[in-house]
Structure 1
């Protein structure tokens, strides 16, 4: 662990939110003795209530009042800690001042965003500054986009070890059991509004290399559509469009570019949602595809959105403890290499993917940033889970009960 004169090693900002409290509880249960952890948010009374529900060892954690609408409080917060993990979203609305404060203070940062426009703006504003100060700014550290990002990293490592050539085609098929996140819905609202009102954001949303560190250097390789047609995957599952594909695919492509396009300059990467096999699977996949298209269309129109808003979970709301514990996720990525070999990577784990499993991913990310600095890649700036944390995060998630494995198919 790095030496420091700062008051805290790790602060969780947004600890009073639904997911924020889950992450706080996870860190409280897994942080080693001596790690100086604080919790932050706008309301001291709510923070005290969260702290009272933590394990005994964490009930003396410091409380820090901070508000994203008051930059001075964020500057003080960032300067007080070596690592800040934030769950305060929608990030496009509340997140940029937090990133800027951390980049300026040289404070390592993690979040749960799946918002492409937010990540792009954070890169443009803060990447150069963070590289100067040595801050690791790590976006998308939950179910968006850890399983996708680490699965493709492992495929690359396996192919490289076998001298099998670069990755040329990878499709990830996601299956899961879980609830709908009110925070994710709120982020979707913001992104749809931005694309509707701003032609530049609409163009950004359609660019498969929207998060590239150097757009001009990206290859001319065409990429599969974010929400592709109903089809059958390599393992025989019928698939439908995956609502998280637009964010995940761009994070994976950024990871590739940040590592000098190590995965392959001509890599085509796509994601889909797995349904089931056989004729019934094809029918259900078709229904899901139509339903998703109708839902996205309805969310984009203010009149129909008002109706949906009365039915959908609000930000800060989530499933019951039982629903969280009975959920699960499984992401299976199948790769083709330049020399004709095939590999399959599996990322899976217990718990509702947007809540219980995300708390594990985010908690281990925060602990890795706080404890494993000497083992992490020697990089700074605006990063991704694979480029910032790589094998260290894989090891941590395996130890936490998640599976990350690769098999050579041919």
Structure 2
């Protein structure tokens, strides 16, 4: 990928020059699309605005996992982990055609580590026992020695066995598009927000430029929500001259190799600083990642040092596979927005914050967050905005944006 905002698609937008709605949502990633669905379920008119396409930014560069966060077992953030496990089950109910259960293997190097894994993973799977549609052929707990040793990743490496745990894989961009398709939002994708009008301490109007043909439009709304992910601070500086840093940004990369025969189950390998190295067979390829570094922008290129660090980690942990000779079919870098605080980004929480803006009374900002808990967070925000809870949010199936089922292997 060479550009966070690719060339706009062909075709013209037929929307009028002036659009009025109740709630305007800026950012058509997982949070913005989820909020559009939540408002629609409550009968509230909304518009969904994005400089690019729906799901075209950070929402297509995640780990593509809907999970409780096995790393939280290591960092002790049990509350956030259990919230993720609850939401994992909700996604399995409302988006079964975009999700696939898997038995992940976490390998261990010695007996004591293996016992610790079985205890911790046992709790993880106990708290996450609600697994709608779980395939009975997938087995959890201790991986039989013969099965483990048959995997080429086990050959010649430091690992002596593995414990299997459950998690949910997804197609993140398609999931985001499904959320948008499940809403009645007026879609203003590939529209560049330019300037705002305000009156009496409230935002009133947004001036937009259609990136396809330069057409100017005005969007009027009673309430505004910015779900801009890692671009939040930059946008607030540009539009309102704000210098406050609300977020710290952490990047992670994924490389996609040709499939390796015998690598059937996803692996999750513990690394220093609470990080996890994933090696996941999916869609006919082998996905590996992720390294982590703090960055300043919502879009940054992959640097050679990141690739090298990832190759070294693969060679140290899985030496039987000739990683440097395997063709890299694609690579991607995602930037995680973390709520600003002190300390190394590897230890910062992925917990999100909903902020009511101090200057504009009708503006809310979504800060931080992650794929797994996006629906729950936007359910909460929609309830705060409307005063109306909605039980159907957890049960109403998503509409497929393309009308097709994904190919599930």
Could you say which structure has the higher helix fraction? 1
TM-score in same-fold range (> 0.5): no
When normalised by structure 2's length, the TM-score is: 0.25
When normalised by structure 1's length, the TM-score is: 0.25
Could you say which structure has the higher strand fraction? 2
